[in-house]
Amino acid sequence: MSIRFLGLATLAAVALTGCAASQINLQVKSPSGTNLGRPMYMLVRQVDPKQYANETYSEVAAKIGAPDPSVLQTAVIYPGSIQRFQIKAPKEGTVAISFLFTAPDGDWQLLLGAAAPNPVPIELAASRIQSAPSVNSPGAAPGEAPAGGAAPPGEVPKLPDFSKMALPKLPGS
């Protein structure tokens, strides 16, 4: 084999394996009233989706003081800021991002789908995640209804065209 061939083969291998993102870029927007104006922790970790669904807030919060190998990064989120983070993506598994609000009222964590945008835009509210990439339908286009059938906020759900449907025959007609 020639050196030129080996160089091209190496370049092709790097290009093929480079398709998966090697890092996850987060952009966290935190208005001044987030978490009652107090700093809070963000925890990024590799999870099993089934285990993630059954974890409690206190189990996740305990990982701040005693991180295990699943923890990819911890950070302090300051109200009134936009913070950017670069996290090394795990080779396998799913990534969960948890925000440890003082008094969570709604979604406090999210699971990133394989088709999540990069950077991942996350906007926080007073005590919950205001907006983030959809977990239910990671491949959905903007404005497309999530997998649960609900319409995006501010839009009316689309109904089927009933004019083209055959009516059922009633007995005796």
The CATH number of whichever domain residue 130 belongs to comes to 2.60.40.4150
| Contact between residue 61 and residue 55 where contact means Cβ atoms under 8 Å apart | no
Please check whether residue 149 lies inside any domain of the structure.
no
pLDDT of residue 116: 84
The residue-averaged pLDDT of 42-54 equals 93
59 has a pLDDT exceeding 80? yes
162 has a pLDDT exceeding 60? no
Q: What is the C-alpha separation between 135 and 114, in angstroms, rounded?
A: 10
Please check whether residue 4 lies inside any domain of the structure.
no
pLDDT of residue 92: 85
Structure tokens at 89: 């993506």
**Domain around 35:** 27-137
Residues of the chain above pLDDT 90, percent: 53
In degrees and rounded to multiples of 5, residue 40 shows phi and psi of: -145, 170
| Contact between residue 72 and residue 46 where contact means Cβ atoms under 8 Å apart | yes
26 has a pLDDT exceeding 80? yes
Q: What is the pTM of this model?
A: 0.66
The residue-averaged pLDDT of 100-110 equals 95
Q: What is the C-alpha separation between 63 and 77, in angstroms, rounded?
A: 16
pLDDT band at 3 (very low <50, low <70, confident <90, very high): very low
The structural domain count of the chain equals 1
Please check whether residue 101 lies inside any domain of the structure.
yes
pLDDT of residue 133: 74
Residue keyed to tokens 């759900």? 157
Please check whether residue 37 lies inside any domain of the structure.
yes
155 has a pLDDT exceeding 80? no
Exposed, middle or buried, 60 (CB in 10 Å: 0-12/13-18/19+)? buried
The residue-averaged pLDDT of 93-116 equals 92
Longest dimension (CA), the chain: 85
Residues of the chain above pLDDT 70, percent: 65
The residue-averaged pLDDT of 42-61 equals 94
Average pLDDT score over the chain: 75
